[in-house]
């Protein structure tokens, strides 16, 4: 008998260290050793690199700094961190004993009349207090798995905040690039409008001199009016881009308009980007980290469901002192009780097993979501690398094209003034210049957006100001 009593606490200790369910392991998937247009050299911690400063634009730098602290999506993600922290603390506290104290005081008296008047009673004061304690012994790790799940969900919330920051960087810089593109297009259109009005005036003078026809004047007027028609649509697009920036900064729609209307050159990044290798994405991309943490939470939930298959033991006790006082007498009594209780699941028509299967399926789904996130990240980097390298070639070629067409327009205009060529040559040259300039502006816009996409795809810059969310161990 003594041996049994000595072995019982040891058995309880061994059981308390038992945790059912699978342990989470870092997921794996096959990745290429390099990107198709990259190198085999791993990248540094790109999350700390303020890549947008490559545009050398103070206004853009200021917008990024302001927006990271007041973007509404980022602020909402931070609130979700607070909620996840509370859930973790709740899951952590469930494994500890729970103590509750209550107190009650009651005054009673019986008043009688008539034949019962002799039965009037004294006033009775009754005070009662209860202190109760309960503790569910975590024999099979139900609470520990719940805590693991809550901790993983907290990690995912932190990673989601980083995703929000990275998304903001992508959106605000792209919107700024678009705004400057439309400003450039407006400037090009107004410059072309001036040139075409000069040609129209020259044609009217030549009509008066008998060196041009009414058809030449009408054609020049048509080109002027078509240029005038382009400008309003470009101004609409510019304002919409500015309004988008304002929304991203959590500001009224017109708050930035006056400042950005002052104009600036199109953003052009001349700095190269080290994309690293595909394996770097698992470390640098917050969406991949969030997906991995969601998988960890789903894996822990399997253990929670499996623990419900096994017996549970809880210890509970209470003590209740009572004090009764009347004018004639008083007294007190104390009652207490303490003991274990056993909950043994026997038959539930397969409900617990069904929950395990559901959680296992959720974990497999979470793994597939993680794998899809990784492959999507690799694809985004591959596409961005191709876009940047090819668009840079396009910009170079279009820059030369604009110079050639501008020289051709200068020569055609001079020749037309001297009467050596027709108006058609001048109008064709103007159309070529306008088209080449618009194409160049669009290519510069595409190059800038490609640069943005590449840096976002590798997970760059969201922690440049030390805002990277690191989960403290608890």
Is residue 1 pLDDT above 80, yes or no?
A: no
Specify if 345 maps to a domain. Answer: no
- pLDDT of 98-148, one tens digit each? 888 888 888 877 666 655 555 556 778 888 888 888 777 878 888 889 899
Range of the domain at 199: 18-93+140-309+351-457
Specify if 323 maps to a domain. Answer: no
Specify if 441 maps to a domain. Answer: yes
Number of domains in the chain: 1
Highest-pLDDT range among 70-79, 191-200, 289-298, 348-357 = 289-298
Specify if 405 maps to a domain. Answer: yes
Secondary structure, 3-state, the chain: CHHHHHHHHHHHHHHHCCCCCCCCCCCCCCCCCCCCCCCCCCCCCHHHCCHHHHHCCHHHHHHHHHHHHHCHHHHHHHHHHHHHHHHHHHHHHCCCCEEEEEEEEEEECCCCCHHHHHHCCCCEEEEEEEEEEEEEECCCCHHHHHHHHHHHHHHHHHHHHHHHHHHHHHHHHHHHHHHHHHHHHHHHHHHHHHHHHHHHHHHHHHHHCCCCCHHHHHHHHHHHHHHHHHHHHHHHHHHHHHHHHHHHCCCCCCCCHHHHCCCCCCCCCCCCCCCCCHHHHHHHCHHHHHHHHHHHHHHHHHHHHHHCCCCEEEEEEEEEEEEEECCCCEEEEEEEEEEEEEECCCCCCCHHHHHHHHHHHHHHHHHHHHHHHHHHHHHHHHHHHHHHHHHHHHHHHHHHHHHHHHHHHHHHHHHHHCCCCCHHHHHHHHHHHHHHHHHHHHHHHHHHHHHHHHHHHCCCCCCCCCCCCCCCCC
Work out the pLDDT band at 155, boundaries 50, 70, 90.
Answer: very high
- pLDDT of 199-251, one tens digit each? 888 888 888 878 778 888 898 899 899 989 999 999 999 999 999 999 999 88
Instruction: Output the average pLDDT for the chain.
Output: 87
CATH of the domain at 194: 1.20.1600.10
What's the rounded mean pLDDT across residues 186-211? 87
Specify if 12 maps to a domain. Answer: no
Specify if 164 maps to a domain. Answer: yes
Specify if 344 maps to a domain. Answer: no
Specify if 378 maps to a domain. Answer: yes
Is residue 4 pLDDT above 60, yes or no?
A: no
């Amino acid at each position: 008998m003594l041996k049994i009593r000595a072995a019982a606490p040891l058995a309880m200790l061994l059981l308390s260290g038992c945790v059912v369910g699978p342990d989470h392991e870092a997921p794996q998937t096959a990745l290429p050793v390099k990107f198709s247009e990259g190198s085999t050299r791993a990248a540094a911690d790109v999350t700390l690199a303020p890549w947008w400063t490559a545009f050398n634009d103070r206004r853009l730098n200021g917008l990024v700094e302001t927006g990271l602290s007041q973007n509404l999506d980022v602020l909402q993600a931070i609130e979700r961190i607070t909620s996840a922290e509370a859930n973790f603390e709740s899951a952590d506290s469930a494994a500890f004993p729970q103590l509750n104290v209550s107190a009650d005081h009651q005054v009673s008296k019986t008043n009688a009349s008539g034949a019962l008047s002799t039965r009037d009673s004294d006033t009775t004061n009754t005070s009662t207090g209860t202190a109760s304690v309960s503790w569910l012994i975590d024999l099979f790790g139900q609470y520990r798995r719940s805590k693991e799940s809550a901790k993983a969900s907290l990690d995912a919330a932190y990673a989601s905040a980083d995703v929000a920051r990275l998304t903001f960087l992508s959106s605000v810089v792209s919107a700024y690039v678009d705004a400057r593109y439309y400003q450039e297009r407006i400037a090009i259109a107004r410059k072309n409008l001036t040139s075409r009005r000069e040609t129209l005036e020259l044609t009217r003078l030549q009509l008066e001199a008998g060196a041009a026809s009414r058809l030449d004047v009408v054609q020049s007027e048509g080109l002027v009016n078509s240029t005038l028609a382009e400008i309003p649509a470009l101004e609409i697009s510019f304002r919409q881009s500015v309004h988008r920036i304002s929304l991203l900064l959590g500001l009224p729609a017109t708050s930035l308009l006056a400042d950005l209307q002052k104009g600036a050159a199109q953003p052009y990044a001349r700095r190269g980007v080290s994309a690293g290798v595909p394996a770097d994405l698992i470390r640098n991309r917050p969406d991949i980290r969030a997906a991995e943490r969601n998988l960890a939470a789903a894996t822990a939930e399997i253990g929670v469901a499996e623990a419900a298959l096994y017996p549970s033991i809880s210890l509970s006790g209470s003590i209740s002192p009572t004090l009764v006082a009347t004018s004639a007498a008083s007294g007190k009594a104390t009652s207490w009780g303490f003991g274990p209780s056993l909950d043994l699941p026997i038959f539930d028509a397969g409900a617990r097993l069904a929950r395990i299967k559901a959680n296992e399926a959720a974990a497999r789904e979470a793994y597939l979501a993680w794998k899809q996130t990784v492959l999507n990240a690799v694809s985004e980097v591959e596409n961005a690398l191709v876009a940047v390298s090819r668009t840079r070639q396009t910009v170079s070629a279009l820059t030369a094209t604009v110079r050639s067409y501008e020289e051709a327009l200068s020569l055609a205009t001079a020749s037309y003034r001297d009467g050596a060529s027709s108006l058609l040559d001048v109008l064709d040259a103007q159309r070529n210049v306008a088209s080449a300039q618009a194409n160049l502006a669009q290519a510069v816009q595409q190059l800038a957006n490609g640069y943005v996409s590449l840096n976002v795809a590798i997970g760059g810059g969201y922690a440049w100001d030390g805002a990277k969310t690191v989960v403290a161990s608890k």
